[in-house]
Amino acid sequence: MIKAILIFNNHGKARLSKFYEHYTEDTEQQIIRETFHLVSKRDENVCNFLEGGLLIGGSDNKLIYRHYATLYFVFCVDSSESELGILDLIQVFVETLDKCFENVCELDLIFHMDKVHNILAEMVMGGMVLETNMSEIITQVEAQNKMEKSEAGIAGAPARAVSAVKNMNLPEMPKNINIGDISIKVPNLPSFK
Amino acid sequence: MALKIVKGSIDRMFDKNLQDLVRGIRNHKEDEAKYISTCIDEIKQELKQDNIAVKANAVCKLTYLQMLGYDVSWAAFNIVEVMSSSKFTYKRIGYLAASQCFHEGTDVIMLTTNQIRKDLSSPNQYDTGVALTGLSCFVTPDLARDLANDIMTLMSHTKPYIRKKAVLIMYKVFLKYPESLRPAFPRLKEKLEDPDPGVQSAAVNVICELARRNPKNYLSLAPLFFKLMTSSTNNWVLIKIIKLFGALTPLEPRLGKKLIEPLTNLIHSTSAMSLLYECVNTVIAVLISLSSGMPNHSASIQLCVQKLRILIEDSDQNLKYLGLLAMSKILKTHPKSVQSHKDLILQCLDDKDESIRLRALDLLYGMVSKKNLMEIVKKLMLHVDKAEGTTYRDELLTKIIDICSQSNYQYITNFEWYISILVELTRLEGTRHGHLIASQMLDVAIRVKAIRGFAVAQMATLLDNAHLLTGNTQRNGICEVLYAAAWICGEFSEHLEDPMQTLEAMLRPKVATLPGHIQAVYVQNAAKLFATVLRKHEGDTDSQAAQETSQLLIDRLPLFVQSANLEVQERASCILQLVKYIQKLQQKNVEVAEEVTALFAGELNPVAPKAQKKVPIPDGLDLDSWINEPPSESESEDEKPKAVFAKEEPKHSRRHTEVDEKELARRREARKQEQANNPFYIKASPSSQKVYDAPGVEHIPVVQIDLSVPLKVPGMPMSDQYLKLEEERRQKEKAERKKKEKKKKREKRGKERKADSGPESEEDITPAHQVDIVTEEMPENALPSDDDDKDPNDPHKALDIDLDKPLADSEKLPVRTHRPEVLKSPAEDRDSESIPQETKKKSGKEKKEKKKDKEKDRKRSKEDKKKKKKHKEVEEELPESQPEEAIQSEETKEVAAPPTSTSAEASDLDFWLSSAPVPPAAQDVTAPSSAAAVDMSSAAAPESEPEEPKDAEPEDMKSSKHKKKKQKKEKEEKEKKKKKRHHHHHHHSDAGGEDSVQNGTVEDEEPLPPMSNYSLLAENSYIKMMKEDADQVYDIQGNHQDESKVVVSVIFENKSDSFLKSMEFNVLDSLNSKLQRPEGAGPHDGLTVPFQLPPGVSNEARFVFSVQSIVMPQKLKGTLTFIVKSDESSTHEKLDFKLHFTCTSYLITTPCYSDAYAKLLESGDLKGSSLRLEGINMPFHHLLARICFHHHFSVVERIDSCASMYSRSIQGHHVCLLVKTSDQTVSIDAKCDEPSLLGNVLDEIKQTFSKC
């Protein structure tokens, strides 16, 4: 089981938090802080597994994380998950984000937390891995986006226009999260595709 | 209307949307909280509007704020409103918000039930999907109960997208509503074989999650998972299944035996590290579960350890970490195999990565020996000094103590060294483990008598420097060691050089700042020291010193009398009064020392913490029986006035207890006496060291201690000196020993010596001090405790449900059940549960009669159920009788008590397990080229497993392809007669006490000779090609109905000294069989082998062939071309070979339940054929194993010397065998729906055995 999925940046600002067990908002914030504290002090080239998150779960749990440019993707899982499998899942997740947002960067996640949640929902459900095939995930996400668009119809048009205008004065978007060079370290799991 | 909508949306666009909110927050970094609170006010306004779009927008923003840590539960009702919008866009927003902030305590959740139900049945699959996703996050027991049925229906939805979500969410439903598990389980099980891989994976996921918590309930699924494991190519699924098997094997060692082979194959073949790692993990679990070693296990362990070493050596830190993690599992059971990699693990201790260091630390525990303990600990001490961060340092500290104290200080040769290590550890600031160090100090000082002098001296220094320990922080856990120090100094004060000084140190005012329990010990031990001081000065003419001591106590103790801690206060005032009294006596010059010392006389023996619990119940003591006569029920029911008894009974009982107490006291006395006479009681020493029983003979250091009594420099590291000294000592000893040996040789009559000659081994290292490690006291015959209490709050406890029991009517939800009816009668169940032999004890004669009856029964139609029931067990012996039995047991089911199909399924499992280890890998082609046929026996080389020469099949001897397949009725009759005779014979022997071979008795049989999957394909001076059984034979049914694929693995081994490259593998396609080439390649192009071979290296490649018809064996000619590159030159070489596809290579090992098997035979679609083999001289189970192994059958059922077997071809033909043996003759009756396939398979079987 996956207990929680957290995304935060290099400063510990949460970009997405998904808890599959209930915690109060305060505890959730504490967990994010603690996890950030644990993860951020680790070097780049150390292993991606971490024990000893005190707040979430017991000794059975592990933190499995990846660090992409400005973002940490952290999965808290118990012993029924394969460590390398989860690492791969994170990779699939990030690659999916990259496809859905076209060169994803931190700002995409900041402004479209709901979309990230929707993508995640096609991969992990209630703490269990639902789908690992990226093209299948993307198909489902796109089909739903299409539905949303068709529902918006004329009524949505002005809102979209306004939103586009608003977006024009966004600060210059930092460049993409740079997924290219990490794939080397991913253990080879050929048939996951 | 349209205008209104547009107007609404124009209004809306001036509301903040999520992006605006985020942007706003980013622009208000200084007053974020204030900004957000204004936003929340806005949101509250928006939520009051009627427009659902506005509401949805507001809810979306709330979801974001929730992530930032704001409580949004106040908007729960609005979220429900948005959830119930008919538009998918808003619905999704609503469900997302709900999944983020709803939980069991949310009260509006009960309003959602109907909405969710509506969404679940929505025609739009994404409405359903969104509802399922949301529900998975906030399902409550109520929701689970109300919606279980709806979700169950969705498990059979037409769209796989819904199916997989419905399957996954069932796990959450089970957790919240355990009653749903049993009704839903059959369908869940069915989904394991869903055509959609995603659904299948979800089902595996759920069952694995369930089985992890309550594995025993899922044992019966093992065959199904085994099948999945050998057929699936999805690594996610494989990993889950393999992990599941890891959980199941401890419950069923036979399963482990079956698993080893396929897992080892996977380990060899997979390129996915995650899969490899999980395989290794499960193999380890299997090996742990098989406690008694089978001979070839060491090979598996070696394989695992080797693979793990590769992982640990990898530059990828993740693999390194996992390698170490798995290694520690091996360590528990096979420490030897891990120890050989000590170098590697010590290396990991220096890794920059803390996670890896921690894992390596775990492993160190098993690495130490007497020889290297000091060295390793020294290394760890260095790490302690360097360590940043208290967590890692604390971990190091506990590890050091663990390592040193393991198995009763087995590896410590010098306790002075250990004490000084402990003292050094006290210098750690801020550690949480002060109490751990303290308890070690106490333990060593109490149990190692020889060390007490040294320990006391060290502790006295510690006490003297107590300010160093307590100085910095109040929360400092290290002051716990003062507890130990004070106690040791007090208790063993006779060893103190200057007790006065220590006493002074213990009564310093600063002590009052220590925690209460430590102060209490200080006070108490001050009194002990006082006694010692008095005694010391007893003889003195001048009593000045003694009186000064008393005065000191009287001066200092009042401080403690005022302590807030009750314990301290009480002890202090008690002792203060005592000292005052003593002072009075002293002034009168009365000698008091004797009496004061008497206060603390006597030695404390170490008592094991669990000793009390473990006192065994003596024979004849029934704790449940009444000690006193219980008030008899009849009396109490008689309505006599109570007063009578109330008066009488207490008296009554008291008399009894008095007697009892006397009796007990007497017995206790007797037992003490007995124990006193028993030299083995109380103090047993762990090794062969001498036991000191009588006081007074103690502390005689046998080896005179080295010149090396270390300088006591307080607070300075000393342990290092010991390391050097220890080395010197060992050197010296060694030299001495050598000398003595020489002497011995010369004199030819040595003195009695402990150490043997020979190379220095572990045991030769004599401890520096002959120490007497007193074991903790335990009652006699103490039982090992099993405190495996489960956490009572574990939600999974509720899911510990027997899934094999048939559903009771009350449980059934109105759904179709798919539970396979297991057709075993109760009578038979009883048999399979009890020891099978028991049922066979009836005399052979009786059985023979029954047998005849049975034959008659058969002819008669089923009229006499009762009679049949009686004969069931006989019927069971013949698979042909299965159909009848099936029907019959169905009939009896209604009459008899609920049939225990649990055991029936269990026995199915037993059959599956007891069948000889079936390799899942199908053996495809066994085609040595004619050139290599001579080399047959040496062919099997590359696999490390030893094998018998006959395993390699010289296929060219299989000349006759076409055999007569005449089925003579006479022959069949003959067979039948023989069968009868055979059974007759067998029953006699059974009656003679021979064990019948039935469910799961394989362990009793002699182990099978190992068989190999490899056979030589072709060979020349450069290269050897070994064909391995393909580990996957899969069919692609559906798309190409008549085309099947076969995978052939070939190992290429470079035999030369040159480099082999550019290997091309080509086969001349036939009409029927074709090599699968990449798209765009011509039909005659070769396939490039994807690797090169350095000298002496072998590697494996796989080739896929498509096959049209499988009823005939096939031969394909092929060529391997390659370039041989040596230092000077490179040449082109080629090697011809012939690939032989036998018919059996198209068979897939498929487990089959006996009931399905019976139905199959009954159907009448199958055509028969038979085969007789003479002169087969091997045990029956070897025979079966061979058929299973070489021809890919699985045993359906086996009774005595008769077995039914099943296999399925890749095109779905069923092949059934009935194998019987008697007196070196084996007869095989076979049935198949494709006669020519059957004929060929039988021919091949015949050939297999003709070579034996």
CB within 8 Å: B13 and A159: yes
Residue B702 has pLDDT above 60, yes or no: no
Locate the chain A residue with the closest alpha carbon to B391. Answer: A52
Q: What is the pTM of this model?
A: 0.56
Query: How many angstroms separate the CA atoms of A86 and A123, rounded?
Result: 12
CB within 8 Å: A144 and B136: no
Question: Using an 8 Å Cβ cutoff, are A106 and A129 in contact?
Answer: no
Cβ under 8 Å to A: B residues 53-92: 53, 60, 63-64, 66-71, 87-89, 92
Q: Which member of B64, B70, B164 has the closest CB to residue A130?
A: B164
Query: How many angstroms separate the CA atoms of B630 and B975, rounded?
Result: 71
Average pLDDT rounded to a whole number, residues B951-956: 41
Return the exposure string of A97-135: e unless at least 16 CB atoms fall within 10 Å of the residue's CB, then b: bbbbbeebbbbbbbbbbbbbbbbbbbbbbbbbbbbbbbe
Residue A13 has pLDDT above 70, yes or no: yes
In this structure, of B137-151, B516-530, B761-775, B1191-1205, the range with the lowest mean pLDDT score is: B761-775
Q: What would the pLDDT profile of B297-341 be if each residue is shown by its tens digit?
A: 777 788 888 888 888 888 888 888 888 888 888 887 777 778 788
Cβ under 8 Å to A: B residues 257-286: 271-275, 277-278
Q: Which member of A26, A45, A129 has the closest CB to residue B317?
A: A45
Smallest Cα distance from A90 to chain B, Å: 14
Of A162 and B1215, more confident: B1215
Residue A37 has pLDDT above 50, yes or no: yes
Q: Which member of B96, B172, B239 has the closest CB to residue A126?
A: B172
Q: Is B375 on the interface with A (CB under 8 A)?
A: no
Q: What would the pLDDT profile of B703-758 be if each residue is shown by its tens digit?
A: 333 333 333 334 444 566 676 776 676 677 667 666 665 655 555 544 444 434 44
Locate the chain A residue with the closest alpha carbon to B72. Answer: A25
Who contacts B133 (Cβ-Cβ below 8 Å, separation ≥6)?
A121, A125, A126, B95, B99, B165
Average pLDDT rounded to a whole number, residues B371-382: 84
- Of the spans A156-165, B48-57, B362-371, B1090-1099, which averages the highest pLDDT? B48-57
Do the strands B1059-1067 and B1114-1125 form a parallel or antiparallel pair, or are they unpaired?
antiparallel
In this structure, of A125-139, B569-583, B684-698, B961-975, the range with the lowest mean pLDDT score is: B684-698
Q: What would the pLDDT profile of B39-85 be if each residue is shown by its tens digit?
A: 999 999 989 988 888 999 999 999 999 999 998 889 999 999 999 99
Show residues of chain B in contact with A2, CB under 8 Å: none
Of A163 and B211, more confident: B211
Residue B117 has pLDDT above 80, yes or no: yes
Show residues of chain A in contact with B316, CB under 8 Å: 185, 187
Q: What would the pLDDT profile of B894-921 be if each residue is shown by its tens digit?
A: 444 444 444 445 556 666 766 544 444 3
Residue B397 has pLDDT above 70, yes or no: yes
Residue B882 has pLDDT above 90, yes or no: no
Residue B108 has pLDDT above 50, yes or no: yes
The number of C-beta contacts closer than 8 angstroms across A and B is 196
Q: What would the pLDDT profile of B1074-1109 be if each residue is shown by its tens digit?
A: 787 777 777 777 788 777 787 777 777 777 778 777
CB within 8 Å: A46 and B161: no
Query: How many angstroms separate the CA atoms of B860 and A123, rounded?
Result: 61
Report the candidate in B58, B136, B71, B133 with the shortest Cα–Cα distance to residue B101: B71
CB within 8 Å: A191 and B322: no
Q: What would the pLDDT profile of B1122-1175 be if each residue is shown by its tens digit?
A: 888 877 777 888 888 888 878 777 777 777 777 778 877 777 777 788 888 877
Report the helix count and the strand count for chain A, using DSSP H and E.
5, 7
Give B415-465 as a 3 state SS string: HHHHHHHHHHHCCCCCCCCHHHHHHHHHHHHHHEHHHHHHHHHHHHHHHHC
Structure tokens at B670: 């007797």
pLDDT of residue B296: 58
Smallest Cα distance from A115 to chain B, Å: 10
> With bands split at pLDDT 50, 70 and 90, how would you rate the model's confidence at B812?
low
pLDDT of residue B793: 62
pLDDT of residue B249: 85
Mean of the per-residue pLDDT values of chain B: 72
Locate the chain A residue with the closest alpha carbon to B63. Answer: A114
Residue A16 has pLDDT above 90, yes or no: yes
Show residues of chain A in contact with B10, CB under 8 Å: 158
pLDDT of residue B823: 38
Show residues of chain B in contact with A174, CB under 8 Å: none
Rounded percentage of chain B residues whose pLDDT exceeds 90: 10
Show residues of chain A in contact with B164, CB under 8 Å: 130-131
Please report which residue ranges of B492-543 form alpha helices under DSSP H: 499-506, 516-536
> With bands split at pLDDT 50, 70 and 90, how would you rate the model's confidence at B863?
very low
Locate the chain A residue with the closest alpha carbon to B94. Answer: A114
pLDDT of residue B714: 43
pLDDT of residue B684: 38
Q: Is B396 on the interface with A (CB under 8 A)?
A: no
Show residues of chain A in contact with B100, CB under 8 Å: 18
Structure tokens at B38: 């204004």
Q: What would the pLDDT profile of B246-272 be if each residue is shown by its tens digit?
A: 888 888 878 888 888 888 888 888 888
pLDDT of residue B692: 38
Q: At residue B599, what is the residue type? A: L
Smallest Cα distance from B654 to chain A, Å: 52
Query: How many angstroms separate the CA atoms of B922 and B1188, rounded?
Result: 10
pLDDT of residue B93: 93
Q: What would the pLDDT profile of B411-453 be if each residue is shown by its tens digit?
A: 888 888 888 888 888 877 767 788 888 888 888 888 888 888 8
Smallest Cα distance from A121 to chain B, Å: 7
Mean of the per-residue pLDDT values of chain A: 80
pLDDT of residue A79: 84
pLDDT of residue B129: 93
Residue B967 has pLDDT above 60, yes or no: no
CB within 8 Å: A133 and B321: no
Return the exposure string of B387-418: e unless at least 16 CB atoms fall within 10 Å of the residue's CB, then b: beeeebbbbbbbbbbebbbeeebebbbbbbbb
Average pLDDT rounded to a whole number, residues B786-790: 46
Q: Quick check: ipTM above 0.85?
A: yes
Show residues of chain A in contact with B133, CB under 8 Å: 121, 125-126
pLDDT of residue B61: 92
Q: At residue B696, what is the residue type? A: G
